[in-house]
Amino acid sequence: MTANAIEARGLVKIFGRQRAVDGVDLTVPAGSIFGILGPNGAGKTTTLRMLLGIVDPDEGTRTLLGTDHPLDVAKRVGYLPEERGLYPSMKAYDAIAFMGALRGLPLAEGRRRGRAMLEEHGLGKAADKEVRTLSKGMAQTVQLLGTLVHDPELIVLDEPFSGLDALNQAKLERLIRAQADKGVTVIFSTHVIAHAERLCERIAIIAGGKVPFTGSVSEARDRLRPQVRLETRSLDGPWRAALPADAAPEGHFWHFTLPETGVEPLLRALIEGEAGIQSLSIERPGLHDAFVAIAGADAARQLEEEALQEGSDA
């Protein structure tokens, strides 16, 4: 097993006159959870399809589980496509076995595992039900279990949280973590910042087919300086010279960016100048703020609208 489950360099896909994916570089360490975060139309699905070998890139190279012929390792990969769908007349456990069979798992073994997996995920009673009778959330879980039934080393999930209610989203987060704990590599696409922030060791931010950032969530957040919120008893005095120029007063409160010199010299000046510190908090920017700074306000707004839209649909 190589140290990286996926390496992609300069991937480009052109549809007509549109560069849907425009020079994407990705490195996904084996055993990690990696998120591709971006709004609809950013190029997430096309990127995943190129990584999997479903679509050939027009430019660039990619290596999946050590080979540049991704289809050769298809049996070691689990893939949940953006388009959901199972045969409606199949029973749930059979649908799982069928998906496993497509990835080389003998049907009898798939059926045995299918029943066990449904049981383990609280859907034991649904095992013999036809897919058409299941709720949307249950059917999506069945499809996800079918993605995992052949014990893949690498799992590729395209918008796996889409269409799930909050309870099923939380279950899916646990399931993804459990896979990573077993050493499985997980890569998923999402337009919901919170999922990427909670789950991923590393992310790629994608917008307009380009990846302006790839690295750890922490590195993304470190692109912005922490924000200080200070409350003082005194309204004025020599201590004010210690505040940065961008410090905006709001009564006894001050909001400003933490100076490069850190908090200690600032505290010293406030104390010596008798500012009368009532409260002081330092807030590290979240991934949302980092996303705005990296991908731009328009992409961030699009992301928020999609998340809101989906919340009202689920």
Ligand X SMILES: Nc1ncnc2c1ncn2[C@@H]1O[C@H](COP(=O)(O)OP(=O)(O)OP(=O)(O)O)[C@@H](O)[C@H]1O
Does 63 interact with ligand X (rule: CB under 6 A)? no
* Cα distance between residue 15 and residue 58, in whole Å: 10
Which one among 40, 216, 218, 309 touches ligand X, defined by CB under 6 A?
40
**Size of site (CB under 6 A) for ligand X:** 12
Strand partners for 232: 277
Q: How far is the CB of 47 from ligand X (least distance, A)?
A: 7
Q: How far is the CB of 13 from ligand X (least distance, A)?
A: 8
The smaller minimum CB distance to ligand X, of residues 15 and 253, is found at 15
The smaller minimum CB distance to ligand X, of residues 110 and 209, is found at 209
By three-state DSSP, how is residue 7 classified?
Answer: strand
* Cα distance between residue 118 and residue 127, in whole Å: 6
Q: Among the candidate windows 35-43, 94-102, 133-141, 242-250, which touches ligand X by CB under 6 A?
A: 35-43
Does 309 interact with ligand X (rule: CB under 6 A)? no
Give the list of residues 6+ apart from residue 275 with CB closer than 8 angstroms, or none: 232, 233, 234, 237, 239
Which one among 43, 53, 152, 208 touches ligand X, defined by CB under 6 A?
43
Q: How far is the CB of 18 from ligand X (least distance, A)?
A: 6
Binding string to ligand X for residues 112 to 141, with x set by CB under 6 A, is what? ------------------------------
Measured between its terminal Cα atoms, the distance across the chain in Å is 39
Q: Return the DSSP state at 276.
A: -
Among candidates 96, 287, 308, 126, which has minimal Cα distance to 200? 287
Both tokens of 271, joined, read 């104390």
Which one among 15, 88, 178, 282 touches ligand X, defined by CB under 6 A?
15
Residue 228: Cβ-neighbour burial (10 angstroms; 0-12, 13-18, 19+): buried
Which one among 4, 27, 32, 45 touches ligand X, defined by CB under 6 A?
45
Which one among 46, 140, 141, 179 touches ligand X, defined by CB under 6 A?
46
Q: How far is the CB of 144 from ligand X (least distance, A)?
A: 18
* Cα distance between residue 113 and residue 43, in whole Å: 34
| Residues between 77 and 106 with contacts to ligand X, criterion CB under 6 A | 82
How far is the CA of 260 from the CAs of 210, 256, 265, in angstroms? 31, 12, 10
Q: How far is the CB of 134 from ligand X (least distance, A)?
A: 24
Using CB under 6 A as the criterion, which residues of the chain lie in contact with ligand X when the complex forms? 15, 20, 38, 40-46, 82, 159
